A and B are shown apart, each in its own frame.
Chain A
Amino acid sequence: DGGITQSPKYLFRKEGQNVTLSCEQNLNHDAMYWYRQDPGQGLRLIYYSQIVNDFQKGDIAEGYSVSREKKESFPLTVTSAQKNPTAFYLCASSMETRTGGNQPQHFGDGTRLSIL
């Protein structure tokens, strides 16, 4: 079945540590996205990528980094510079949207990150 796989489901970070969240899709989608969800708040966009080897900052990119070396993969690194990383992280993908438009986003099941 086609879909988006996020791993791990739960992740714990120590002080000063970088951690990487995995997102893989087999939907042949061009665009991929990372969101952060905090209790009582809407999803906020961290980074997005419309094509391999290219990505743009979203609304809350500080303390995060990404790469897009393959179409299927869009890993997110939460760096030690992110002082409040505890949240639910969601990855999504869609068909190409460089021209804007009407392609639905499909989501993975999320990774819950906590601080030790």
Chain B
Amino acid sequence: ELKVEQNPLFLSMQEGKNYTIYCNYSTTSDRLYWYRQDPGKSLESLFVLLSNGAVKQEGRLMASLDTKARLSTLHITAAVHDLSATYFCALGGATNKLIFGTGTLLAVQP
């Protein structure tokens, strides 16, 4: 069974701190997506990772993909309150189907 697992499911962190969200998946794929969802809002695309070793950065967020380890990470640097949201990873395959992880609820405390 194809599984996409994120951890932690909930992350409370202080402003200014660094942390990493992990996304593990159970089958080979070279496409991994990260999305952000604010409460009551839709999903916003953050990163598209298309190959092994891909690394992308936008502001305080950096995403990477290791297809051999079947692992993607979303690293948060010097967190600020505006980053509070739920973050989802999603695995792409040979079709246009995405399998989403359970999500990580991030709460950045002042």
A binds B: no
Q: Could you list which residues of chain B lie within 8 angstroms of chain A, going by C-beta atoms?
A: none
